[in-house]
Amino acid sequence: MKIERISAVWCPSCLLMRSLWEKIEKDYPEFTFIDYDVDFDEEIVETRSIGKILPVCIFYKDGKEINRIVGEKKEKELRDLLEEYRRML
Amino acid sequence: MKKGIKILCFLFLFLWIPFVKAEEKIDLYLFYGDGCPHCASEKEFLSTLETKYEELEIHLYEVWYDEENQNLLDTVKDAFQVTEGGVPFTVIGKNYFIGYNENIGYQIENVLKNRENLDENVVQNILNDPNHYQTAPPQEEIPTETPTETPSKEKEDLVKVPILGEINPKTVSLPLLGAIIGFVDGFNPCAMWILLLLISMLLGMKNRKRMWILGFTFLGTSALVYLLFMVSWLQVAMKIQQIMIVRNIIALVALLAGGINLIKFYKEKKNGEGCDLVDKKKRKKMIQKIKKFTTEKSFFLAMIGIITLAVSVNLVELACSAGLPLLYTQVLAMNDLSTASYAFNIFLYILFFLLDDVIVFTIAMTSLKMTGFSKKYGNLSHLIGGIIMVILGLLLLFKPELIMFNF
């Protein structure tokens, strides 16, 4: 399963979420995490139709998007979601 | 016979003295503005004095709508060498009082009771000859001592606050308001994204000393732009604050800006917390600008670049957050303060405005890692800022005396 995280260096919410992801991602080695920056990975980000709020997190299963979350989230919310997807693997 | 004449003379004097005393009128000149709440309070107070002191004669001069009276007030102030503005301005003999509160009321009555410095009628002298005091101003003889009862009156105003001890709400209200509004203004997300973008690029530099200098130059220049804006507006506000319509327009702008902030808070609360994606063109332009001076070899040119960037950014961003500094400066203008007090209050506002930026920058520079405050604080700033704007707007419209803290 692949998880794409789209953020920006100038976005405080992205910075907060980045440190949160850093804390929890080591507990989920079965997932592949990929980071994109809206300014420095412009071409890829443009194909994701991210809307007007950052950060955006897109979940893919078998190459297909199954979910996306937008904005700041709490650690429990992220963990619950990852646990749910872990069971699907 | 001689004894009889003496007795008659004595009786005559005895009867005549009080008669003369009663005849000696005391002229009190009140320069006031129509619609000025403190002037209205003083007028009320003076009407009670009028019944108490028969010899008191009150002369009223409206100065906001009457140019001639305003000119007379200017001449009187020149004679006293008073540079501070504002009404009410009261003159009795050689005594003058700026503003009105209970303490000033007490001092006015004290002058009437003790007939202090009434040997010269300054206003009447000016009315007779406007150039009367051009060479010899009377201000040296004016008593400026505080009445003996004042300390106990001031004592009554003191409020006990844990840790801080006894404080006078009148003296701390303006700095406290400045600190709160400045702090809330600092969380305005308009300028934060540029600071974070700058920090991210500064972190890529190898020279740490240069990183610190460039970063603080950006913050210092931002503070300077704010300072210039607030000082300029203060000058304008002090000149036009007497015009009711201007104050009402500012009040309406505050209500509108407050409403917009509250709507923003509601919308962001509904949509969830996250950053608004800044316009692509704007982002690209900013990245190019910052890249230019972070890669610039000449330190001098890099400094010029960052100063120019900070000035242009803050001028544009002021439009986004001008509501709060504008409103606070207006409140300052309505309070007749000394130049040092104005400077102190503006300095305090800017200090708190920059506090969150300085914290974010210092943490990033020392840990070489970027940090950011949750967007919920930015959103909270919309709520608190909105509420402050609405309250101040309503006070400006209906109860301006409540924000004249120093009277």
**B194–A9 C-beta distance less than 8 A:** no
| Residue-range domain boundaries for chain B | 19-149, 169-403
Range of the domain at A71: 2-88
Looking at residue B163, what is its pLDDT? 57
Q: Which of B197, B375, B378 sits opposite A10 (nearest CB)?
A: B197
Measured at the CA of B173, the angle between CA B373 and CA B396, to 5 degrees, comes to 95
Which CATH number does the domain housing residue A79 bear? 3.40.30.10
Looking at residue B168, what is its pLDDT? 58
| Closest C-alpha to B247, from B1, B49, B35 | B35
Name beta bridge partners: B59.
B29
The count of domains in chain A is 1
Contacts of B278 in chain A (CB under 8 A): 10
User: How many angstroms away from the CA of B275 is the closest CA of chain A?
Assistant: 5
Looking at residue B254, what is its pLDDT? 87
pTM given for the model: 0.66
**A70–B275 C-beta distance less than 8 A:** no
Does residue A57 carry a catalytic annotation? no
Contacts of A71 in chain B (CB under 8 A): 271-274, 375
Is the CB of A15 inside 8 Å of chain B's CB atoms? yes
- Give Cβ neighbours of residue B99 (< 8 Å, ≥ 6 apart): B38, B86, B88, B336, B406, B407
Q: Which two tokens stand for residue B219?
A: 């913050």
Q: Which CATH class is domain B19-149?
A: alpha beta
Does residue A11 carry a catalytic annotation? yes
Rounded to whole angstroms, the Cα distance separating B161 from B363 reads 33
Q: Which two tokens stand for residue B199?
A: 């920090």
Find the closest chain A residue to B375 by CA distance.
A13
CA–centroid distance for B159 within its chain: 22
Name beta bridge partners: B32.
B62
B244 touches B397 (CB < 8 A): no
Residues 276-295 of B with CB under 8 A from A: 276-278, 283-284, 287
Contacts of A9 in chain B (CB under 8 A): 196-197, 200, 370
Rounded to whole angstroms, the Cα distance separating A53 from A55 reads 6
When scoring B275, B290, B294 by the number of chain A Cβ atoms within 10 A, the one with the most, hence best to mutate, is: B275
Looking at residue B153, what is its pLDDT? 42
Distances B263 to B138, B245, B313, B332, B383 between C-alpha atoms, Å: 57, 27, 25, 27, 9
Mean pLDDT in consecutive groups of 10 residues from the start of chain B, 407 residues: 57 48 78 80 88 90 84 88 79 88 84 84 89 64 41 49 57 82 80 84 84 92 90 84 74 88 85 81 88 85 90 77 80 81 92 89 84 77 87 84 64
A12-55 pLDDT, tens digit per residue, is 889 889 989 999 999 999 999 999 999 999 899 999 999 888 99
Find the closest chain B residue to A73 by CA distance.
B273
**B370–A51 C-beta distance less than 8 A:** no
DSSP for residue B115: T
**A70–B277 C-beta distance less than 8 A:** no
Looking at residue B149, what is its pLDDT? 37
Is the CB of A53 inside 8 Å of chain B's CB atoms? yes
ipTM (interface pTM): 0.85
By three-state DSSP, how is residue A79 classified? helix
